[in-house]
Structure 1
Amino acid sequence: MSKIKVNDLRSALELLETIPGQLIDTDVEVHPHAQLSGVYRHVGAGGTVMRPTKEGPAMIFNHVTGHEDARVAIGVLASRKRVGYLLDEAPDRLGHLLNDAVKNPIKPVVIDQKEAKCQEVVHYATDPDFDIRKLVPAPTNTEEDAGPYITLGMCYASDPETKVSDVTIHRLCLQSKDEISMYFVPGARHLGVFREKAEAAGKPLPISISIGVDPAIEIASCFEPPTTPLGFNELEIAGAIRKEPVQLTQCLTIDERCIANAEYVIEGELLPGVRVREDQNTNTGKAMPEFPGYTGPANPEIPIIKVKSVTHRKNPIMQTCIGPSEEHVSMAGIPTEASILLMVEKAMPGKLLNVYCASSGGGKYMAVLQFCKKIPSDEGRQRQAALLAFSAFSELKLVYLVDEDVDPFDINDVIWAMNTRMQGDSGIVCIPGVRCHPLDPSNDPSISSSIRDHGIACKTIFDCTVPFDQKHRFQRAKFMDVDPSLWVPDMF
């Protein structure tokens, strides 16, 4: 158990400072336009970022060009091991931790504005020198980006009819001194429903964007239906992880709440009927690098947030991530693991031992399911588990099934199982024509005749499990179980 209680970004960084190899900083000045991300690509981005890259420590840039009073933290969640430290759980049990949290939610509480650290410094959009681009050191990932992006903004809004609230992460581009564009993946986020209801009524939707928060909130905010249906506030999952409620406070300029100990809070309104071209300032045709490893196309018509104010803590720390980095794998993948565990456990208790949404799938496209066949009638249930996984997370494209003696978190071990336990003609199950994710460029009619619309895919199961009646033929070589630290203490 850690002696440092993590409940915001600063305490998270304080914890990482105590763990060798988990946090570094630099006083060398860095430019937020492409250069900052270019540096961290080599330090610790990982994920689906173009090589050379690697898993490494989180990093703080103490001097950012154009932002004298702010620092930028990146890669806080860009390591599964580091997420384990921050959530106080073993890395291979994180999916189980979140699964338990979903079952035992704790509702957030609202504290007085005087106690809210996020409002220590206030900037109103009515001030003549107000410019969000100067106040918030949002980087660009590449030189082709449509503009500076807020990549880790906790967007919080409420249903204009039912008043239920939700938090999600969206693609947010700074478009002008007081405007931010907001991208919605069709049908994938609750805030999209809220926005559509408000727009249908011709009314703006109040929205707060909290940046630099407790990592538990960042992870929890990435849950999706059916695990968290419309009306389920994911802040309740973050509360369950910490075993205490998330603290919110009332915004200053809009009728909405924000995360009370955030480093930055942007208050604004999603305007009804107003759209802008995402790359209106660059004309590159591109938005920013997304989790599959490719730069997403700029959206020709995208909703806009009119900013009312920016509040922040004294000496704020901007938190950002590289779109295709391991950070996305942690945020999207671990909640997906929990969702699959939850769905399969309901159908066949005790059969699914663990799930890993691998880095190579960006945390969304690929899952490895470790399945235990205990009796003859379990044969075939492993494929049922794969089908349930597809149901639990619609954006999932590939499922690899492995036995209990295969480490699902070691892709080399998974591929070993594929090589020695699977035959292509019987172990590969294809399910064409299923809706998946629009950011996968191969999910397009130009790639396959089975695809009728962009975003449809052929979901595939790779059954690398041994048939139950053949288990005696597939026993792995058994080595003596010893404590290696007696011989090489520096390594263990």
Structure 2
Amino acid sequence: MSEKMNKVRDLRSALELLKSIPGQLIETDEPVNPHAELSGVYRHVGAGGTVMRPTKIGPAMVFNHVLGHEDSSVVIGLLASRERVGLMLDTKPERLGFLLNEAVKNPIDPITISNDKAKAQEVVHYAEDPDFDIRKLIPAPTNTEEDAGPYITIGMCYASDSETGESDITIHRLCLQSKDEMSMYFVPGRHLEVFREKAEKAGKPLPISISIGVDPAIEVAACFEAPTTPLGFNELSVAGAIRKEAVELVQCLTIDEKAIANAEYVIEGELVPGVRVREDQNTNTGKAMPEFPGYTGSAVADLPLIKVKAVTHRVNPIMQTVIGPSEEHVNMAGIPTEASILQMVEKSMPGKLLNVYAHTSGGGKYMAVLQFKKSQPSDEGRQRQAALLAFSAFSELKHVFIVDEDVDPFDSNDVLWALNTRYQGDVDTVFIPGVRCHPLDPTQDPAYSPTIQEKGISCKTIFDCTVPFHLKDEFKRSEFKEVDPSRFVPGFSNA
């Protein structure tokens, strides 16, 4: 690992690294309104993903003058470039899935440090203070003017099983509802939902910490899901393996839970049993916030409620946020998806799956491109078995494209070339109807098709864009002479 990368262990050191690399980070002192304007700016600068055009992949951006929050700044787009994620995790962009796969297999458990050493607790605000108001303490933006409210979009939610003591970390959408209350949205099946339901059944609150502004390795690792990281597997151990150093936690001040010790902000609170709140109770827009498929999600009528007990933070804290459908979601969700698919397929057929890309257009969840190598006649058909394993590795996957080893899975034009020259719709399409997928896909609704029995049910599809093995010699791409273009174009690079 490089000397620079050895220093990246929190958000600030990550920003320092990016400052040293041209084109990766920009700052502005221009006053910006966190209500819709901040995200509206970054939509043009570097959001990418499934955001409505015009948008593009660009540098991360720091806003130093956020109206109403003079002692803090906001960073957006930190993970909105696969190249940038590779820089911060010290590996090539196309090898990120392999890095995470190795990390899952070699976890390093987190450790707990003393409160006096925790930078996240340099400044403390207790909810019992009459002037306490989380909306004034944390510059949480809205993505659009119709959002249900200010959202914490990249908070590391940490809680523990009340029976086993096992802990888990994940990311959920959190809407600031009042001076000391937040709503929390759960996609069915998330591990923290299991913890919450267990505590609620016992009539007890569930302590929860939300750490904001942390090491990017934690943000990516937190997005692993079952079966790769089953219930009881603490994904912080994956981040520890990426850094080859344990993540440091600290005991919270007002609840029986821990938080990330070097976070910029930590919210301490409890999920209150038996209490629900309407997500858009303050705006009545019927909308929540933009989600990864590129559409604004509907506000939920009855979400669990977090009662905030305290907010702690660093001196001059840096709030981190994301645009819901941006390339940040693609990378956070997609790279663990790639690792999960690589792991499952490699166990079944070693050496056949060369790479995986959880494609931008699917938000890192709905679509994967598998680069598969057929070496002998008996490999024919195994490429489709690999696709079936991919669906098993990540249940929210909807579409799988399979390409040969001479096609770049990260180049959409190359994948579409394979679709146009190595695919026949009536021969190379495999439909798997009636399978549970992800509830935010708007086509997964009985109103879309009478064949869909229930919301969240989908037809998963395999697009086999590989050449039949016995025809491989007839589908060879044109081979060009290997030359060094830098002789003719100084400084030229294919990277």
Aligned to 1:60: 62
Aligned to 2:108: 106
TM-score using structure 1 length: 0.99
Match of 1:69 among 43, 50, 71: 71
1:79-90 equivalences in 2 (<5 Å): 79-90=81-92
CA displacement at 1:447 relative to structure 2: 1.5
SS of the equivalent of 2:486 reads helix
Aligned to 1:131: 133
Alignment-mate amino acid for residue 314 of structure 2 = R
CA displacement at 1:207 relative to structure 2: 0.3
Q: 1:28 aligned to 2:30? A: yes
How far apart are the structure 1 equivalents of 2:261 and 2:391? 36
Aligned to 2:432: 431
> What is the number of equivalent residue pairs in this alignment?
491
SS of the equivalent of 1:249 reads strand
Aligned to 1:350: 351
TM-score using structure 2 length: 0.99
How far apart are the structure 2 equivalents of 1:170 and 1:388? 27
1:142-157 equivalences in 2 (<5 Å): 142-157=144-159
CA displacement at 1:486 relative to structure 2: 2.1
SS of the equivalent of 1:324 reads coil
SS of the equivalent of 2:97 reads helix
CA displacement at 1:242 relative to structure 2: 0.3
SS of the equivalent of 1:425 reads helix
Q: Cα deviation per residue 1:219-246 (whole Å; 9 max; x = unaligned)?
A: 0000000000000000000000000100
Q: Cα deviation per residue 1:135-154 (whole Å; 9 max; x = unaligned)?
A: 00000000000000000100
CA displacement at 1:295 relative to structure 2: 0.2
Q: Which moved more, 1:286-295 or 1:476-485?
A: 476-485
Aligned to 2:229: 228
1:6-45 equivalences in 2 (<5 Å): 6-45=8-47
1:245-260 equivalences in 2 (<5 Å): 245-260=246-261
Q: 1:320 aligned to 2:330? A: no
Aligned to 1:182: 184
Q: Cα deviation per residue 1:267-306 (whole Å; 9 max; x = unaligned)?
A: 0000000000000000000000000000000000000000
Identical-residue share of aligned pairs (%): 78
CA displacement at 1:489 relative to structure 2: 2.1
Unaligned runs of 5+ in 1: none
Aligned to 1:485: 486
Aligned to 1:333: 334
Structure 1 outlier segments of 4+, above 4 Å: none
Aligned to 2:462: 461
Unaligned runs of 5+ in 2: none
Alignment-mate amino acid for residue 297 of structure 2 = G
Alignment-mate amino acid for residue 312 of structure 2 = T
Aligned to 2:275: 274
How far apart are the structure 2 equivalents of 1:160 and 1:456? 32
Aligned to 2:201: 200
How far apart are the structure 1 equivalents of 2:435 and 2:397? 10
Q: Cα deviation per residue 1:138-187 (whole Å; 9 max; x = unaligned)?
A: 00000000000000100000000000001000010000000010000111
Alignment-mate amino acid for residue 58 of structure 1 = A
SS of the equivalent of 1:490 reads coil
Alignment-mate amino acid for residue 263 of structure 2 = A
Alignment-mate amino acid for residue 76 of structure 2 = I
CA displacement at 1:2 relative to structure 2: 3.8
Q: 1:384 aligned to 2:381? A: no
How far apart are the structure 2 equivalents of 1:321 and 1:489? 38
Q: Cα deviation per residue 1:33-78 (whole Å; 9 max; x = unaligned)?
A: 0000000000000000000000000000000000000000000000
CA displacement at 1:450 relative to structure 2: 2.2
CA displacement at 1:460 relative to structure 2: 0.3
